[in-house]
Amino acid sequence: MPFKIIAENCTGCTACEQRCPTRAISGLKGEAFYIEPSYCIDCGACGVICPDESILDTFGHMTGVLKKAARPIAVVHPDNCNGCGVCVDVCPFDCLYPAPTNTGPEFLGIVEVEEKKCVGCKLCEEVCGWEGIYIMTGAEKPVFLEELGHSAEA
């Protein structure tokens, strides 16, 4: 079941529309917005930034604004990413790119994430066939990377 906007609560602030990776949300500024169910991929990008408490998630629960550390983002698994670029191609926000430190062809390097642009929509994770990228909260990222023996700053 796709996410749903409760029209009575929506102020038409456009925050959800701007964050939606599939452009499933539409409406006029200042009026109630609408989610087209056939375009919604249940990523939750809209719900974590809605200031009006007007979005129901897949299970019918009210979503709420999350602080930055609690929002989902893409995290690259440094040992599994082969730099094939499939995730780069599918990302609607252009937040994935080949690392500038790659010394060979881009497809043999590793991908990096520009976290300020990433909404955690899950598209990259779904297309990666090598378990090279995961969606998790920003707070989980350091623990994940340290468990793999990598620095969170890298």
Residues 6+ apart with CB under 8 A from 149: none
CATH architecture classification, 1-65: 2-Layer Sandwich (3.30)
The pTM is what?
A: 0.83
Query: At residue 107, does pLDDT exceed 90?
Result: no
pLDDT at 149: 92
Alpha-carbon span 45 to 16, nearest angstrom: 7
Query: At residue 103, does pLDDT exceed 70?
Result: no
Alpha-carbon span 71 to 78, nearest angstrom: 21
Domain ranges in the chain with CATH number 3.30.70.20: 1-65, 68-147
CATH architecture classification, 68-147: 2-Layer Sandwich (3.30)
**Residue 51 class from Cβ within 10 Å (0-12 exposed, 13-18 middle, 19+ buried)?**
exposed
DSSP code, position 90: H
